[in-house]
Amino acid sequence: MGLLHDFLLLDLDSDGGWELGRFHNDPRAVHLHDDLVRYMGVTLKWIPTVNPARREPCRGLCMWGPTVIVAEGAAVAERVFALWAELFSLGPSVLALTGSLRCLEPDDASTALDRGAQPEGGYDRLEFDRDEVVGVLRHLVGWCGQVRSGGRRLYLYHGGV
């Protein structure tokens, strides 16, 4: 399964404010794998968000903690998630994506250098089920639409890994 980011639509009236620790691993949440969130990362930084720990505006998702998307950021988030969903929906049933650059462990690199060879590395290969990813992204699109039209009552909680 790996490291997952949780997303959950919350209501200020019924769920309360931003004491968000209680929503970690909430069974109502939808999830995106950390590698996929990082793959989409540059575009996620376009989304106006709030860091609830500091109670200040920011951009993008906090990778290791909570982030809140309120009405001001929901329209951008809705479009970003919708466009990723549309793009991924065009792919094969198993999305094969290029992940982070990885290098050999230091001991392996030293061994390669001792042999007179260059240490090698490569990019991680990421594989995701297309329909699952697209389904979660479209779910997020719906939630962002609700936040956008919810009159400041609704917000989208993101829990980083």
Q: What is the CA radius of gyration of the chain?
A: 19
Map out the domains of the chain as residue ranges.
4-95+141-159
Distance CA(3)–CA(32), nearest Å, equals: 9
Task: Output the tens digit of pLDDT for each of the chain's 161 residues.
Answer: 679 999 999 998 888 776 667 787 789 999 999 999 999 999 999 999 999 888 899 999 999 989 999 999 999 999 999 999 999 999 999 999 998 887 766 655 455 556 665 556 788 899 999 999 999 999 999 999 999 998 889 999 999 98
DSSP character at residue 117: P
Closest by CA position to 121, among listed 144, 104, 142, 96: 104
C-alpha 97/C-alpha 123 separation (Å) is: 10
Reported pTM: 0.86
